[in-house]
Amino acid sequence: MRPVALVSGSSRGIGAATARAFGERGYHVIVNYLQNEAAALEVVSSITSAGGSAQAIQADVRDEEHVGRLVDQIAGEHRRIDVLVCNANTARPTFEPFEDVTWGAFLAKLDNELAGVFHLTQRVLSVMRAHPQHRGRIVYVSSISGDSSAGLVAHATAKSSLNRFSRHVAAFAGQFGISVNTVAPGSVETDASATVNSAEIIAYLAERSVFGRQMVPNDVAQVIASVADPSFAAVTGQIITVDAGMDVLAQQLSFVGKRKPLTAD
């Protein structure tokens, strides 16, 4: 019997690439989506035509009842969930000066972002705990914005909260042999980033990668699938940055900028 991986928001973008990565690794993949059934079925078909196994299930992960129905269906049909990836892009970031952000919009962003991970985590943990012989892995998809990001106050606060939330879940779930980690990507070429970032911003970000390119969804998907691998059994509670070297280059540039000339007298 194949292990089961549930990837929230996997009809498009990073989630779709992650679903394919788990399909290639022999999992039965649950391709969750909000409204785009055709895209979800396309991901399922790309997995099954490569010899893998997958099914699409619609559920709005922000809605507790939807999440209950989703998890009950998987547990009823498969009796196990080995991997949960909380990836769904439930609220896109908006660039606004802080003074223009309303309290309502700020709260809505936090609510959208955190409701999905909270409900999914609680419901899936109970299924994982019922089968302690199956290794349990939870991976959250955060963002480098969780650490900083001028102009994205609501998004950055939401992702920063997710990072902290993941550490608490890791501390709780460890006693059941379940590992919990977070992957924090930089800019990735998806529908979401294309709406949020202008072509100039994308080019600017690509230049700041040591590899000189913007990341594609599979760059992040491979890390998510690797973190869920049994070989990562001793890694939990970590926030893993996947930014194609933007951070090192930024540090190097600021170091070079501040360095005194070696020949200074």
DSSP, collapsed to helix, strand or coil, labels residue 122 as helix
Q: Give the shortest CB-141-to-ligand NAP separation in angstroms.
A: 4
CA pair distance 129, 135, nearest whole angstrom: 9
Would you say 110 or 135 has its CB closer to ligand NAP?
110
Cβ neighbours, 10 Å, residue 9:
27
* Surface-to-core class of residue 129, CB atoms within 10 Å of its CB (0-12 exposed, 13-18 middle, 19+ buried): middle
Residue with tokens 């109970």, as numbered in its chain: 126
Interface mask toward ligand NAP for 48-67; x: CB under 6 A: ------------xxx-----
87 binds ligand NAP (CB under 6 A): yes
Name 54's bridge partners: 29
Question: Which one of the spans 70-78, 88-96, 128-136, 230-238 is the region binding ligand NAP (CB under 6 A)?
Answer: 88-96
- Among 173, 188, 221, 228, indicate the residue that binds ligand NAP (CB under 6 A): 188
CA pair distance 64, 66, nearest whole angstrom: 6
Q: Give the shortest CB-250-to-ligand NAP separation in angstroms.
A: 16
Site for ligand NAP in 199-238 (CB under 6 A): none
128 binds ligand NAP (CB under 6 A): no
Q: Could you give phi then psi for residue 101, rounded to 5 degrees?
A: -80, 125
Interface mask toward ligand NAP for 162-181; x: CB under 6 A: --------------------
Write out 124-162 in H/E/C secondary structure.
Answer: HHHHHHHCCCCCEEEEEECCHHHCCCCCCHHHHHHHHHH
146 binds ligand NAP (CB under 6 A): no
Q: Give the shortest CB-119-to-ligand NAP separation in angstroms.
A: 10
39 binds ligand NAP (CB under 6 A): yes
Residues forming contacts to ligand NAP in the complex (CB under 6 A) are 8-15, 32-36, 39, 60-62, 87-90, 141, 143, 185, 187-188, 190-193
